[in-house]
Amino acid sequence: MEQKRIEGLWDCVFCSTKGIRARFDTCPNCGKPRGIDTLFYLPDDIESAELTKEEAAKTTNEPDWLCEYCDHYNRSDVAVCQKCGAPRTGAKKNYGTLHHLTGKF
Ligand SMILES: [Zn+2]
Ligand SMILES: [Zn+2]
């Protein structure tokens, strides 16, 4: 069984930009951070959304976490905020899974 990682998409609620890739934590159009209740969805064209091996290596399947001090999104595999250095234990909020798996059996 080979699993392929698909990058989720989200829509900006501020400027209505649609289909922003999960790798961006701020809107490329208006620069606002994605909100705490941002929903991720899978693109229609799954094939083109497939991450390369290189890209997949840079992402994880765990939910990202948000630093409660500086609101910076951090990968699930880091213990301290990559921006301000605050420990993850301080993060109260945990966000939805950003990356989706699809399996070919
Ligand atoms: Zn926007
Ligand atoms: Zn921080």
Residue 31 pLDDT grade (very low, low, confident, very high; cuts 50, 70, 90): very high
Burial class (CB in 10 A: 0-12, 13-18, 19+), 10: buried
Ligand nearest 83 Cα, by number?
2
CA–centroid distance, 38 to ligand 1, in Å, is 12
**pLDDT surpasses 60 at 33:** yes
Segment 50-74 shows an average pLDDT of: 76
Tokens at 16, concatenated:
């209505």
Average pLDDT on 75-79 reads: 81
The H or E element that residue 53 is part of is helix 53-57
Tell me what pLDDT residue 104 has: 41
Of 27, 25, 21, nearest to 8 by C-alpha is: 21
Please give the distance, rounded to the nearest whole angstrom, from the Cα atom of residue 13 to the centre of ligand 1: 7
Asked whether the predicted pLDDT for residue 105 surpasses 80, the reply is: no
Strands (E) located in the chain? 2-7, 9-10, 20-21, 65-66, 73-74, 99-104
Q: What is the pLDDT of residue 98?
A: 39
Ligand found nearest the CA of 88: 2
Distance 63 CA to ligand 2 centre (A): 16
* pLDDT beyond 50 at 71: yes
